[in-house]
A and B are shown apart, each in its own frame.
Chain A
Amino acid sequence: MDSRTAPPEDSDMSVLQPATAMPVGEFVRLLRADIKSDQRYRDIAITGELGRVTVSGPGHWYLDLKDSDGQLSCVAWRGTASRIPFQPKAGDEVIVVGSLDVYPLRGTIQLVIKEMRQVSQLGALEEARRLLVEKLREEGAMDRPRQPLPAIPQHICLVTGAGSAALADMQRLIEERWPGLRRTIIGVLVQGERATAEIVRGIEAANRMSDPFWAEANGVPPVDLIVCGRGGGSPEDLWAFNLEPVARAVIDSPTPLISAVGHESDILVSDMVADLRAATPSHAIERCVPYRSDLEQQHDDIRLAMAAATVRRLSHLRESVTHLRARLGHAPMAGVERGRGRIDGLASRITAGTTGLFQHQRTRLSRAEATLNAIHPDKVSERGWTLVRDSGGRLVTRASMARPGQAINIRFHDGALGAEVTEQELDEHE
């Protein structure tokens, strides 16, 4: 240090002389040289929160670093700033590494930044999330039985960002799969400080709409499915879905709830505790809204299969009756009339049954019956019934079609017998 800066020995008056006073510029230059040569102020790491952030025309950053006890001006020259991999903004928690300097024209001390990185708030958040997951696991919330989703949601409630891209995607997919599906959208904030409370309130409102009394009073079916979520974003943007209030609302939801947050790779606490985790909001819709046309096709398939099987069965029964009627001709007279009555009754009921079916299913049945007619003789012959043909190969379907002495061929399911008609008895009504 220069001798002129030494404290006065005698009285205050002695330094208040122009000859002994130092020009301020020189003092600042000395101070600067002092500070710059002091190893304690070189390459020091300082942490704090960014206050004012200014970017100058040439691209230098002027930053205030502060905490509750103090504040320091910092500068990152353009060359350094261009290497820092994030855009600083007020409120960021950062660590800076740099050396102290004095800006002579203002006499201000500033830290010239060489490196800067964000102190991840995520670090603390991740820890809180880990603890929450552990707690919920211990409580059994992760292993609790999940509620099944309705096969067809009668009233779906979407709790998500109003006007968001995720909502638009979900709406589009619903209309594609089930045009006009009944739904209520509750628009909530999905990021920022108020998001947690709004998501919780949205889920609670949706659940009140699942109350049958509420539904009856409002003339709509109760909400039977909730989809809660948002589109992709940074981990901080999605964080509300990692917080305990949201997790609790999801766990406590008496209505089946799908958690649909972010992208495929984002797994939030709400995903872990929901009745179903969908990788994305669109995926949620794919999981819970079927294609209406598929279901209609399935109904048609069932209707056709049922009609075809019923007609096939009735055809078999009709043949049995015809066969019984023929056998009655050979029966002893006692009981024949009673038997004939029963057979006729059966025949008319089958006819009535078939007629009834045809009224419902005329076109489908005729198609089905055509198929069946091609199949059923085999099944019948397996039960011991036979087909009789004359020497010309024509089917003999009545006793009156053959004469004694005529050669006939009897077809069994495993082969045929040649035979000759020895006797003919015709029923009176035939």
Chain B
Amino acid sequence: MSEEVEGTVGEVVGEADAAESEIGYAERVARLEAIVRELEAGQQDLEATLALFEEGMGHLRACGDALDAAEGRLRELTLSEAESEASR
């Protein structure tokens, strides 16, 4: 039985991982809101509940990563600097 739980959860998380790069931030937030609504409706069995929770945590982590990834260098270039850099 416990193997079955892990299998189900693993499968869901695995799918999320595979699609990682294709899912935008806004889609993740939309999915998270859907997950919260589903969990709040309280109709799932144990496996589905845990799978939803795990999927949600995965999206939250990715959302947090997206916030960190937006930070970086500030560069101020003249037009000719920009042009020579852009054509590298």
Partner-B contacts on A (CB < 8 A): 150-155, 162, 178-188, 198, 201-202, 204-206, 208-209, 214, 217-218, 220-221, 292, 295-296, 298-299, 302-303, 305-307, 309-310, 312-314, 316-317, 342, 345-346, 348-350, 352-353, 357, 360, 379
Contact = CB atoms under 8 A, between A and B. Distances in A.
Interface in B39-86: 39-40, 42, 44-46, 49-50, 52-53, 56-57, 60, 63-64, 66-67, 69-79, 82-83, 85-86
Contact of B88 (A183, A214, A309, A317): A214
B82 A152 contact: no
A349 B72 contact: no
A314 B63 CA distance: 26
B76 A306 contact: no
Given A306-B32, A349-B2, A360-B57, 5 more contacts: A185-B76, A209-B82, A295-B63, A306-B57, A348-B2
A187 B70 contact: no
A341 B32 CA distance: 35
B72 A221 contact: yes
B24 interface: yes
Contacts of A178: 70-71
B1 A345 contact: yes
Contacts of B40: 305, 309, 312
Give the 7 A-B CB pairs with smallest separation, nearest first. Answer: A182-B72, A309-B39, A208-B86, A205-B86, A151-B26, A205-B82, A186-B82
Contacts of A188: 79
B60 A312 contact: no
B12 interface: no
Given A310-B53, A349-B1, A184 B42 contact: no
A346 B46 contact: yes
Contacts of B26: 151
Given A313-B44, A349-B1, A220 B73 contact: yes
B33 interface: yes
B86 A349 contact: no
A302 B86 contact: no
A236 B83 CA distance: 27
B88 A217 contact: yes
Nearest to B47: A349
Nearest to B66: A152
Interface of B: 1-2, 5, 24-26, 29, 32-33, 35-36, 39-40, 42, 44-46, 49-50, 52-53, 56-57, 60, 63-64, 66-67, 69-79, 82-83, 85-88
Nearest to B1: A345
A335 B46 CA distance: 23
A152 B70 contact: yes
B74 A183 contact: yes
26 contacts: A150-B24, A154-B69, A155-B72, A181-B72, A182-B70, A182-B74, A186-B78, A187-B76, A187-B77, A206-B86, A208-B86, A208-B87, A209-B82, A209-B85, A218-B88, A220-B72, A221-B72, A303-B60, A306-B35, A317-B45, A317-B49, A345-B1, A349-B1, A349-B46, A353-B46, A353-B50
A416 to B, nearest CB: 26
B74 A352 contact: no
- Tell which of B39, B42, B53, B67 has the most Cβ of chain A within 10 Å: B53
A40 B33 CA distance: 83
Contacts of A202: 79, 82
A302 B40 CA distance: 12
A421 B33 CA distance: 48
A16 B76 CA distance: 78
A310 B2 CA distance: 18
Nearest to B25: A151
B82 A180 contact: no
Nearest to B28: A151
Given A310-B53, A352-B2, A154 B70 contact: yes
B3 to A, nearest CB: 11
B22 to A, nearest CB: 14
